[in-house]
Structure 1
Amino acid sequence: MMPDRQDFGEIDRQAAQWADRMNRPLQDAEMAAAFDRWILQDSRHVEAYARMQGLWQSGAMQDALTAAEAGAGAAAGSWPGAAGGTRTGTDESGLPEDGEAPNWAAQAWKQFAAFTAVALCLVVVVSLGARLLVSEASYRTARGETRDVQLVDGSKVRLSGDTRMDVRFTPWSREVVLREGEAFFDVAHEKVRNFAVDTGSSSVTVLGTAFDIDLVDEQTRVVRVYRGLVSVDAGAGRQWRLPAGSGIEVGGGKVRSLGDVPGDHPGWIDGWFDAEDTSVRQLVQRLNRGSSRPIELSDPALGDLPVTGRFQTSDPEMVLDALAAIHDLQWHREGGRYLLSR
């Protein structure tokens, strides 16, 4: 049985609504999930959305009309009988007998036909199945290792040590799951697809910007923005928009604003960590990502001690000396580890 014409009309209407929604500056996770459900529900949804998105993104039709108007003016000036020219005669239609009709209309049609061909190709490709256009990859680093990753959209990611990340790109979304560790994202700008990072307890959504996410522990997330605007969603209606130069720490039911985020990339890339009333536990975790010899605390309570300052994480023994001086502690090597104690 052939699908009802009204079915196609309704699908096109829904596709147009989704094209409008997905081209807005920021999307939340709920809307993105709803879109994924809708697009995968029916292969006709994929085709209709591709058509609407092609029309949304392309200015080919307007370009063709503009070229037609420009061509009309140029052709009028070049006809015999136009200003500065002579006309030998006309036929009944009013066209010149000795000259050819202006070709601006044909040129405009060719331009629009080319656009239509591209749009049709897009529909054909997408109609092969959304799953064929899905790009998935997983990345991880070992302790003491960093890694640069270039994603298929041109975005760049620097992974810190002991970090795990999964990536899933579709024609309508860019999704990253940061499962462990820390990563600095330099996101390629796109008008259509948001770039979303899920950290488990919160999510970050952007279109094109540079930011850093640190998974401090199972609950605590630290986000710092170095370019553009970032939307952070911690669930339960807790949302923030962070401009460049700012940051936020969310975890354990608490929120702490980080008002001064200098530079264009995080300090850890250069081997430094800027602590601002940070716990020793967090600093030790940072050191452990880059050190082949782990640091352990003899007493878990030591992890609650606060520290402020700039620490060279590429030299853990120097940092341990600083911690010992600040809080009257001591450290020593024990087997394959460093042990920090009172």
Structure 2
Amino acid sequence: MRNADDMTADEALRDEAVAWLVRVQSDLATAEDWAALTAWLEASEANLLAFEEAERLSAELTSRAGEIASGLKATTTPVIPLRPRVRRTLPAWAGLAAAAAVALVIGPVAWRSYQGTPTVYVTRPGETRDVALADGSHIRMDAASTLTVQLGWRERRVQMAEAQATFDVAKDKNRPFLISVGDQQVRVVGTEFNIRHFDGATRVTVRRGIVEVRQPALGTAPVARLVAGQSLSHVRGATRSVQTTVDPDRAFAWTEGRMVCEDETLGDMVAYLNRRYPVPIRVAPALAGQRFSGVLELGDQDLVAKRLAGYFRLTVHRTDGQIELR
């Protein structure tokens, strides 16, 4: 059984949550108020749950405003009380919640606006896509890629699933651009770079500006700070990443219809082509380990398959549903 102290603590937390809701929905709310709320929410799960409950209560009272108003209308029928009315004292948080419901009818909506409404962008195999974001940033998505974008008031966030994309980020020092990819996070203000993330392996290559890479499991300090002409390769779960000096144009070559390979295995090349094209290409495991360095021009899939077969001295066999290299 919960004691009185527990109940008092719960009520105090509810009061605080509703006070936060009132504060950030006020016409006088500032960016500093929202930042303070974010810090309070992140301080404990209990704070977050209390705030969500305050939002739910506000939303419910708003949705039932007509019903509540009609119930509060003065009755026209005379009423003779049979016993003296007992005055009940409501908890302080109930009054605050009612005030929040009346004055803050868009509480949940405004909070989502602060964080940014998630927008999912998807490309199918054989499809690329250019995305122009409202902040002036541009994303070029490779085939078979999925990104979720949120443009918030204080941060711009991207969740990168299996994908390859180039980013040309509009500079905004007050709203960093954060990309979650695998178990790492890429942080930029304004720059141009490419990220390739497939099968648990990530490679970040910078063409312009500075990119900071963090790995939350290893602490808050960056694991790398990349400048133009540098690349960072990482496998999910590993405690170390490999930083190298590269020609960044190689990482961007896919945007111009070229696949630049540097000691790539045939298996890895085929895996990429199967994202790029709709008809799957198959190769026997015994052949998949062969390696290639050079440039493969991308275009018509049949021509690509013939070029690839020529590099490895293989033959092409096409059936109804696939292309096989032997």
TM value normalised by structure 1: 0.59
2:257 equivalent in structure 1: 271
1:86 equivalent in structure 2: none
1:295 aligns with 2:281: yes
Which of 180, 183, 202 pairs up with 1:221? 202
Q: CA deviation at 1:193?
A: 1.3
State the number of aligned residues: 239
2:150 equivalent in structure 1: 168
Partner Cα distance (1:194, 1:288) in 2? 34
Sequence identity percentage: 30
Partner Cα distance (2:243, 2:282) in 1? 29
Q: CA deviation at 1:38?
A: 6.0
Structure 1 counterpart of 2:42, one-letter code:
R
Rate the CA distance shift 1:262–1:280 in 2: closer, same or farther, 3 A.
same
Partner Cα distance (1:320, 1:162) in 2? 19
Partner Cα distance (1:297, 1:203) in 2? 34
1:196-243 deviation digits (Å, cap 9, x = unpaired): 1112232211111111111131x1011111111111234543711111
Listed as ranges, the gaps of 5+ residues in structure 1 are: 20-32, 44-124
Structure 2 counterpart of 1:291, one-letter code:
Y
Partner Cα distance (1:127, 1:292) in 2? 42
Rate the CA distance shift 1:186–1:265 in 2: closer, same or farther, 3 A.
farther
Provide the secondary structure at the position in 2 that maps to 1:135: coil
Partner Cα distance (1:333, 1:37) in 2? 56
Partner Cα distance (1:148, 1:318) in 2? 25
Which of 294, 299, 305 pairs up with 1:314? 299
1:131-167 deviation digits (Å, cap 9, x = unpaired): 2443321110111111111112111111111111111
1:23-45 deviation digits (Å, cap 9, x = unpaired): xxxxxxxxxx96872699699xx
Rate the CA distance shift 1:35–1:151 in 2: closer, same or farther, 3 A.
farther
1:147 equivalent in structure 2: 129
Rate the CA distance shift 1:304–1:222 in 2: closer, same or farther, 3 A.
farther
Q: Contact between 1:216 and 1:282, CA under 8 Å: does it hold in 2?
A: no
Which of 33, 42, 46 pairs up with 1:37? 42
Q: Which moved more, 1:189-198 or 1:227-236?
A: 227-236
1:178 aligns with 2:160: yes
Partner Cα distance (2:125, 2:301) in 1? 14
Q: CA deviation at 1:270?
A: 0.9
Q: Contact between 2:182 and 2:202, CA under 8 Å: does it hold in 1?
A: no
Partner Cα distance (1:304, 1:258) in 2? 24
1:337 aligns with 2:322: yes
Rate the CA distance shift 1:257–1:38 in 2: closer, same or farther, 3 A.
same
Which residues of 2 match residues 225-244 of structure 1 at below 5 A? 225-237=206-218, 239-244=223-228
| RMSD of aligned alpha carbons | 3.7
Partner Cα distance (1:264, 1:308) in 2? 12
Which of 235, 238, 251 pairs up with 1:251? 235
Partner Cα distance (2:172, 2:201) in 1? 29
Provide the secondary structure at the position in 1 that maps to 2:268: helix
Partner Cα distance (1:278, 1:256) in 2? 17
Rate the CA distance shift 1:183–1:312 in 2: closer, same or farther, 3 A.
same
Partner Cα distance (1:227, 1:145) in 2? 26
Q: CA deviation at 1:127?
A: 11
1:112-135 deviation digits (Å, cap 9, x = unpaired): xxxxxxxxxxxxx99984224433
Rate the CA distance shift 1:240–1:185 in 2: closer, same or farther, 3 A.
same
Q: Contact between 2:250 and 2:260, CA under 8 Å: does it hold in 1?
A: no
Q: Contact between 2:296 and 2:308, CA under 8 Å: does it hold in 1?
A: no
Structure 1 counterpart of 2:166, one-letter code:
F
1:230-267 deviation digits (Å, cap 9, x = unpaired): 11234543711111122122116474444222449711
Structure 2 counterpart of 1:307, one-letter code:
F
Partner Cα distance (2:325, 2:40) in 1? 50
Listed as ranges, the gaps of 5+ residues in structure 2 are: 1-11, 52-105
Partner Cα distance (1:314, 1:211) in 2? 24
